[in-house]
Structure 1
Amino acid sequence: MHAMNYRITLPADYDMQTIRHRVAAKGHLLDDFPGLGQKAYLMREKGVDGSPVNQYAPFYLWNTAEGMNSFLWGPGFRTLVGDFGRPVVEHWTGLGFVRGAAFSTAPRSAGRRSQPVAPGEDPAAAVSRALDGLAETASRPGLHCAALLIDPRHWELLHFTLWQDAAPEEPGEERYEVLHLSKPGLDDIRTGRQW
C-alpha cells in the first residue's frame, strides 16, 4: 500500500462551492482507476470545525505503484496542475490498514494527524506502538477505515481515518469533509500489518 496526499490551500475568500461542483462533476472519473485502492476527495473550509484555511486535499491509498504513477503522469493530474498549479505531493509507505464497523457506509468525514518519530527513538518501537493504536482505532464506533503510514525521509508517521459521521476531535488532527470516495480497489487493500 502506498499513500499520497496534496493539500491545495485556497484564498480565505475562495468560494468553496467551486470545489464541491468540481468533485460532483469529476469525482466519478476515478471510480474504476486501475491500481487505486481509494481516493477520498477532501475539503475543509475556513472557520468550519476549527479549520484555519480553505483547502482542497485529495488523499489516496494505492494498491500498486504503477497505478499511482499512471495517475501522476496522466491527464487527470495534469488538469489539476493546470487549474491550481503543481502542488507538493506528499507520499508515504503503508504500515497498516483496518476496516471499521461502518466500512459498508459512505464516509462523511476524515482525520489526518502526523506524528514525528523523535530523533534517537527506535523507529521499530515507534511503529509498533502506532500499530497497537491502529488496532484500537479499529474498534471505535463510526469508523469506516484507518491507515497508518510512514515517510522515512522525514521520519513522520501519518494516521489517516475515514468516519461515517463527524470525525472525533483529536489533538493535532486536521479534520475534513469527504465530498466523494472513489474506491475501485478498496476491498483489495490488505488489512493488518503491511509486512
Structure 2
Amino acid sequence: MHAMQYELTLPARYDMGIIRERVARRGHLLDDWDGLGLKAYLMRERGLRGSPVNQYAPFYLWNTVDGMNAFLWGGGFQGVSDDFGRPPARQWTGLAYEEGGGSHARFAMRRRQPVPDGAPLADAVEGAVGDVGRSAAQDGAVLAAAAVDTSRWELVHFSLWEHVPAADGDVFEVLHLSAPGRDTLPRGRRW
C-alpha cells in the first residue's frame, strides 16, 4: 500500500462551489482505476471545522505502484496540472490499514507528525499501527491508515468518518469516494 496526497490551497475568497462542481463532474473518472485502493476527494473551507484555509486535497491509497504511476504519468494527474498548476504530490509508504464499522464517509481526518529523533524506529511505527486499530474501532469510523515518508521521517495518519471525528488533525469534507480496490487493500501491519 502506498499513500499519496497533493494540496491545492486556494485564495481566502475562492468560491469553493467550483471545487464541488469539479468533483461532481469528474470524480467518477477514477471509480474503476486499476491499482487504486481508494481516492477520497477532500475539501476544507476557511473558517469551518477549524480550517485556516480553503483547500482541495485528495488523498489516495494505492494497491500498486503501477496504478499510481499510470495516474501520475498517464493522464489522470494532468487534469489537475492543467487547471491549477502542478502541485507537489506527497507520497508515503503504507504501515497499516484497517476497516471500521461505518459505511458512508462524509469526513476525513489527516494528521502528520514527525518520527521523534532518537526514538527507536520500531516503537514509532508500532505506535502508528496501534493508532490505526484504535481509530478504526471507534464509532462512526469507516477506515483508518498510517504511512511514513522516510525522506522526511514523517508519519501520516488518515481516517474516514461518518461524522466529524473527535481526533486531533486536519478535518476535511469528503466530496466523493472512488474505491475500486478498497476491498483488496491489505489489512493490518504491513511488514
Q: Give the TM-score range, shorter chain.
A: over 0.9
CA distance in 1, matches of 2:71, 2:14: 27
Partners of 1:3 and 1:91 within 8 A in 2: yes
CA distance in 1, matches of 2:132, 2:82: 37
After superposition, residues 127-142 of structure 1 pair within 5 angstroms as 127-142=125-140
Q: Secondary structure at the match of 2:28?
A: helix
Q: Secondary structure at the match of 2:88?
A: coil
> Which sections of structure 2, spanning at least 5 residues, go unmatched?
none
CA distance in 2, matches of 1:167, 1:44: 14
The letter of the residue matching 1:160 is: F
1:89 Cα deviation after fit: 0.6
Aligned to 1:73: 73
Q: CA RMSD in A?
A: 0.8
Question: Which segment is superposed worse, 135-144 or 91-100?
Answer: 135-144
Match of 1:163 among 157, 161, 164: 161
CA distance in 1, matches of 2:84, 2:155: 27
Partners of 2:98 and 2:143 within 8 A in 1: yes
Q: Deviations over 1:104-157 (max 9, x none)?
A: x22000000012111111111111122122222221000000001001111111
Aligned to 1:147: 145
CA distance in 2, matches of 1:78, 1:136: 37
CA distance in 2, matches of 1:137, 1:167: 10
After superposition, residues 84-123 of structure 1 pair within 5 angstroms as 84-102=84-102, 105-123=103-121
The letter of the residue matching 1:136 is: R
Q: Deviations over 1:62-110 (max 9, x none)?
A: 00000000000122211110100000110000000000011xx220000
After superposition, residues 47-66 of structure 1 pair within 5 angstroms as 47-66=47-66
CA distance in 1, matches of 2:71, 2:117: 34
> Which sections of structure 1, spanning at least 5 residues, go unmatched?
none
- After TM superposition, the score normalised by the length of structure 1 is 0.96
Q: Secondary structure at the match of 2:159?
A: strand
Partners of 1:43 and 1:55 within 8 A in 2: yes
Aligned to 2:20: 20
1:167 Cα deviation after fit: 2.3
CA distance in 2, matches of 1:145, 1:83: 30
CA distance in 2, matches of 1:153, 1:124: 17
